[in-house]
Structure 1
Amino acid sequence: MFKGTEKLKPGEFSRIVSQNGGEENAFTSYDYTAYFQSWSASNVELSFELEAERMRNLKLDEEEFAKEINVVLEERRLRTDDNPRALAGEAARAAAFQTSPYRNPVIGWAADLKEMKLVDLAAWYQRWYAPNNAIVVVVGDVDPQAVYKAAQKHFGDFKPEQLEAPKRRPEVPQQGTKRLRIVNEDARLPYLTMAYKAPVLTEVEDADIEEWELYALEVLAATLDGNKASRLPKKLVRRDRVASSISVNYSMANRLRTLFSISATPADGHSPAELEQAIRTELESLRSAPPSPAELARIKTQVVADSLFEQDSPFYQGIIIGSLEAIGLDWRLRDDYVSNIQNVTPEQVQAVARKYLVDDALTVATLLPGMAPATEAAQ
């Protein structure tokens, strides 16, 4: 998308942005691809002109395509294939999800990338890079009416594509814990990932999922690992010293069911099995008794502060607004985030721990240093 269009030579897009004092880039997620520029509000019209040009007029050249495939393969090699932890995480996600497209890495599998042809790329571009599949977000000191006029001017004549939403492929209900044992000679230290399937905002209409549960899961994640004073780093890293590092990851802003994951490195003298048991003990304590009002108040203050800090950045405001719309939700949900977090009760945190952090939703991946055949997996 940066390699030239009918009007722009390869590299000219980036050069124009740079010459006007701006920065630009792009990123991909499981649900969407985002392209952005950060520069003076006076350049909104220029942004629209450039983005409209590459939305429909991209030049797909065989030579440039071959170069970029190699760039992507090299990026995959550096970030994943040569990174034992990243490989383990990729394997854990592929094992956790049986039918969901989230089982595939965002960058793609190396085997698929090697088989990709220019005609495949052209078909994808023609189908999805269309005005009726795009969301434009402008954040800054701009005149809304001028923005609307610019959008109409530069995108209004583009014909929409016939889009058919991919058919829903409900995830097969899991029966029992899935386990992977991954031995990698490049791994220096063992590593443990415990990933639980967890609901997201788009599932709220389902009969057995209530909206408050998603916010309670966000608070639960912060209770376990929001800062150094949170339960897992405080108890497992500093007090018991069974882990040298630990992190928790969960986001409710996804189109499909996601993972509530706990990843940790065992401390010297401790095995992944010991660490897993220690984590299970901490999770059971939350299932057995809710956090105290004082602990919950401290955690919620941190979650709210992090959210407000993000809103100080026009870039992150744009990402939040755009991502909500991209997954089929109303961007105004962000305005209710703080109040919904503040309304979470100790009993609700306990309830979601009981409901979602269960063995029938769990995949455990253990990375071990050493020489071995291929990954062993069992369910």
Structure 2
Amino acid sequence: MDIPRSTLLLFTWLLPFLALADPAQPTHQFTLGNGLKVLVREDHRAPVVTSRLWLKVGSSHELPGQSGLSHALEHMLYKGSSKTCQGEAAAILDNLGASHNAFTDKDATAHYQTLQPHQLGVAFELMADLFATARLRTEDFIPELSVIQEERRQQVDDNPEEMAQEHLASLAFSASSYRTPIIGWMHDLQRLTAEDLRRWFQTRYAPGNATLVVVGDVTLDKVQTLAERYFGPLPAKPFITPRPSLELAEPGERKMVLHQAIPTPRLIMSFNVPSLVTAENRRSVHALRLLDTLLAGSNSARLLKRLQFNDRLFSGISSDYSPLYRGDSLFTLSAQLHSQRTIHLDQAQARIWEVLDEFRTTPPDIAELERARTLLIARQIYDQDSIGHQADRLGLLESIGLSWRLMDEDVDELKQVTPADIQQAAAKYLTRQRLSTVHIRVENTDA
């Protein structure tokens, strides 16, 4: 089959970026005597470095009735330690001009600082102290818990989109702990205690359950010296490592209807699919990533071109799939009906199924696949310009039990996916037996 000239031009445009992506930046790893793994990725393009301490603890590890523990502990870590009083660690970093923050996800919690290379020792000293001696006092937790509860009200309870996503997770993950919201259920937040946090801290914040990732204008020798000085004295201690959270192979079709204060009806379709950790072979995961791009990853993707731009059925439609989970993942399509259309959500969903069935029965042509592959690889290469993105990718891979080396193998593996792989992935995973649907109707209507 001849490849169109437009596609060849796209390949030509990508060639300089492919050259930049190879070889990979020098990356080193070592492990301290207490079990802390350290990754160092040299990137000398700018005089800056980011340090990110990743803990293998997130909302998917939390037991029923204890949701929100990991996120609450992230908040409380900066309330004082053996060396600093409340807020002092943040103030020291602010005075250095550093960018710093923390976040909690399904599988991990990360604390990071981005600053000048000669300041790296300060970041290490502060984080090692907080990591080992955070006070977690009841008198500090009571007001902070009120802050977290208000955060939930604003970001979830009063946000129709986030509320719909939370309901979707509770529906789509029949057997998996990924149904647990990161911020926690409000009724659990109302029962959390400082003692709960202290137990969580003791059983999860251990050097052997963490990865320190350093990316930027540094050398292995410098990082190793500083890591040994500040993190090396921390004592090793036991920690709990839960098993990956697996989903039912074919849980059956599920549906939920919500009524919300939104301008037009919305539709969410989500399929239970594997992640890089749980897949039988990685090629099927990369096929799903490319299918994500083929469906809604650009203005020429089938769902956008046909149902949003041509037919004007939807005012917006998107696709989302992340393979970086310790357990099984979701492949999700979200669409908002056009304000001038009165079509029922069931009819709109049928139109999406028409496009999905095309991929399930017929491989995409090579030109269409190469356009999607080119876009996906280009995004991967552009992301390497950010030391923060590099550190996040390295840390997340290690936190879910995979090797950081997969980051440098990603482009080559994407190049191996064939049109037949796309069809096989669509036929296997985009089925009604794996489908959860949320219909979001405008309040007080039957739309």
TM-score of the two chains, using structure 2 as the length reference: 0.80
- Counterpart selection for 1:78 from 130, 142, 154: 154
Contact 1:85 1:367 survives alignment (8 Å):
no
Aligned-pair CA distance for 1:148: 1.2
Establish whether residue 24 from structure 1 lines up as the match of residue 95 from structure 2: no
CA deviations over 1:189-217 (Å, ceiling 9, x no partner): 2111100001111124xxxx221101111
Pick which of 356-365 and 40-49 moved more.
40-49
- Counterpart selection for 1:90 from 166, 173, 189: 166
CA deviations over 1:211-254 (Å, ceiling 9, x no partner): 11011110000001111121111111011111110111101111
Aligned-pair CA distance for 1:132: 1.0
Q: Which residue of 2 aligns with 1:243?
A: 314
Q: Which residue of 2 aligns with 1:147?
A: 223
Q: Which residue of 1 aligns with 2:418?
A: 345
Establish whether residue 192 from structure 1 lines up as the match of residue 267 from structure 2: yes
Establish whether residue 215 from structure 1 lines up as the match of residue 286 from structure 2: yes
Task: Supply the AA of the counterpart residue of 1:229.
Answer: S
Matches of 2:425 and 2:247 in 1, distance apart?
Answer: 20
Q: How does 1:173-192 map to 2 (within 5 A)?
A: 173-184=249-260, 186-192=261-267
Q: Secondary structure of the residue that 1:363 maps to in structure 2?
A: strand
- Counterpart selection for 1:133 from 209, 212, 233: 209
Q: Which residue of 2 aligns with 1:281?
A: 354
Aligned-pair CA distance for 1:369: 1.7
Q: Secondary structure of the residue that 1:316 maps to in structure 2?
A: helix
Aligned length: 367
Q: Which residue of 2 aligns with 1:291?
A: 364
Pick which of 267-276 and 355-364 moved more.
267-276
Matches of 1:66 and 1:202 in 2, distance apart?
Answer: 38
Structure 2 segments unaligned to the other structure (5+ residues): 1-76
Establish whether residue 369 from structure 1 lines up as the match of residue 437 from structure 2: no
Task: Supply the AA of the counterpart residue of 2:120.
Answer: V
Q: Secondary structure of the residue that 1:218 maps to in structure 2?
A: helix
Contact 2:80 2:135 survives alignment (8 Å):
yes
Matches of 1:138 and 1:169 in 2, distance apart?
Answer: 29
Establish whether residue 202 from structure 1 lines up as the match of residue 273 from structure 2: no
CA RMSD of superposed structures (Å): 1.4
Contact 1:4 1:10 survives alignment (8 Å):
yes
Q: Which residue of 1 aligns with 2:407?
A: 334
Task: Supply the AA of the counterpart residue of 1:354.
Answer: A
Aligned-pair CA distance for 1:85: 2.1
Task: Supply the AA of the counterpart residue of 1:64.
Answer: D
Matches of 2:322 and 2:405 in 1, distance apart?
Answer: 17
Point out 4+ residue stretches in structure 1 off by more than 6 angstroms. none
Matches of 2:331 and 2:322 in 1, distance apart?
Answer: 8
Contact 2:106 2:182 survives alignment (8 Å):
yes
Residue 89 and residue 328 in structure 1: after superposition, are their counterparts in 2 closer, same or farther (change >3 A)?
same
Matches of 1:352 and 1:171 in 2, distance apart?
Answer: 17
Matches of 1:252 and 1:168 in 2, distance apart?
Answer: 14
Residue 292 and residue 167 in structure 1: after superposition, are their counterparts in 2 closer, same or farther (change >3 A)?
closer
Task: Supply the AA of the counterpart residue of 2:362.
Answer: A
Q: Which residue of 2 aligns with 1:267?
A: 338
Aligned-pair CA distance for 1:24: 0.1
Q: Which residue of 2 aligns with 1:55?
A: 131
Aligned-pair CA distance for 1:171: 2.6
**Identity level (%):** 35
Residue 168 and residue 212 in structure 1: after superposition, are their counterparts in 2 closer, same or farther (change >3 A)?
closer
Task: Supply the AA of the counterpart residue of 1:214.
Answer: V
- Counterpart selection for 1:314 from 367, 387, 394: 387
Contact 1:55 1:129 survives alignment (8 Å):
yes
Q: Secondary structure of the residue that 1:277 maps to in structure 2?
A: helix
Q: Which residue of 1 aligns with 2:52?
A: none
Task: Supply the AA of the counterpart residue of 1:217.
Answer: L
Aligned-pair CA distance for 1:99: 2.1
Residue 308 and residue 49 in structure 1: after superposition, are their counterparts in 2 closer, same or farther (change >3 A)?
same
Q: Secondary structure of the residue that 1:331 maps to in structure 2?
A: coil
Task: Supply the AA of the counterpart residue of 2:253.
Answer: T
Contact 1:310 1:317 survives alignment (8 Å):
yes
CA deviations over 1:19-63 (Å, ceiling 9, x no partner): 112110011110000110111111121111011010011121222
- Counterpart selection for 2:304 from 204, 227, 233: 233
Q: How does 1:114-129 map to 2 (within 5 A)?
A: 114-129=190-205
Contact 1:189 1:369 survives alignment (8 Å):
yes
- Counterpart selection for 1:324 from 389, 397, 411: 397
Contact 1:41 1:141 survives alignment (8 Å):
yes
Aligned-pair CA distance for 1:308: 0.5
Q: Secondary structure of the residue that 1:34 maps to in structure 2?
A: strand
